[in-house]
Copies of this chain bind each other. A is one copy, B any other.
């Protein structure tokens, strides 16, 4: 059965969603704020998340960003606001789709089905490649037990490579991941960051191999 976590502070919205989804055979779990929502997700490993942007205390965008540090579960954003800026921000932060309240149940279910159509290899909050370990939850990287000091961009870049360790990741894939919705060409910057990463990884850790005109590959050893 499909598990869904709903994060919304309004009980009546949660009840409505819950009813609709249960009638479609979803297993529904509710949370009324960001922190408890994250806990639910970490514990239950749902197949999708419905997230309200307008939460008290910790807003939906922050929840999403935190979530995306360790999980790629499909997220459907719910919001009363119709501001393009917020939509874009949420999409850039890793949301999979966006529904504006009030919404029809048909549209909701259709969009939910779309974002779920992709089946994930569920993600551990930790990635390892050889003697390299990335803790996505805490944004920490360590090499053979020693803590690496990485800048945010470097971490994101290494994350992208490590996630597909051993395989080629194309320049386009990297740039879309590390610099989402950036108009200017980042390939110049990319080379520099690769250079920095290589220095920090040293000769004992995994190596970043260039595949000319295609991309990079992280290999153990």
Binding site for B on A (CB under 8 A): 1-2, 23-25, 72, 84, 87-88, 91-92, 95-97, 104, 106-107, 109-111, 113-114, 116-118, 120-122, 138-140, 151-152, 164, 167-170, 172-173, 176-177, 180-181, 183, 185, 211-215
Find chain B residues with CB under 8 A from A72 CB.
121
Find chain B residues with CB under 8 A from A151 CB.
212-213
Interface centre among A24, A95, A213 (most CB of B within 10 A): A24
**Once the chains are docked, how many angstroms separate the CA of A113 from the CA of B96?**
10
Shortest CB distance A73–B (Å): 12
Find chain B residues with CB under 8 A from A138 CB.
164, 167-170
**Once the chains are docked, how many angstroms separate the CA of A111 from the CA of B77?**
13
- Counting every copy of the chain, the complex holds 2
Q: Choose from B104, B121, B181, B215 the contact partner of A118 (Cβ within 8 Å).
A: B121
CB closest residue in chain B, given A95: B114
Interface of A is mostly: mixed
Given A72-B121, A91-B110, 5 other A-B residues pairs in contact with their CB atoms under 8 A? A24-B183, A110-B180, A110-B181, A139-B168, A139-B170
Q: Choose from B84, B121, B152, B214 the contact partner of A139 (Cβ within 8 Å).
A: B214
Interface centre among A25, A84, A118 (most CB of B within 10 A): A118
Find chain B residues with CB under 8 A from A95 CB.
114
CB-based contact A140/B152 at 8 Å: no
**Once the chains are docked, how many angstroms separate the CA of A88 from the CA of B92?**
23
Find chain B residues with CB under 8 A from A114 CB.
91, 95-97
Given contacts A92-B110, A104-B84, A117-B176, contact A212 B152 (CB under 8 A): yes
Q: Choose from B87, B110, B152 the contact partner of A107 (Cβ within 8 Å).
A: B87
Find chain B residues with CB under 8 A from A87 CB.
107, 110
CB-based contact B213/A152 at 8 Å: yes
**Once the chains are docked, how many angstroms separate the CA of A113 from the CA of B172?**
10
CB-based contact B113/A176 at 8 Å: yes
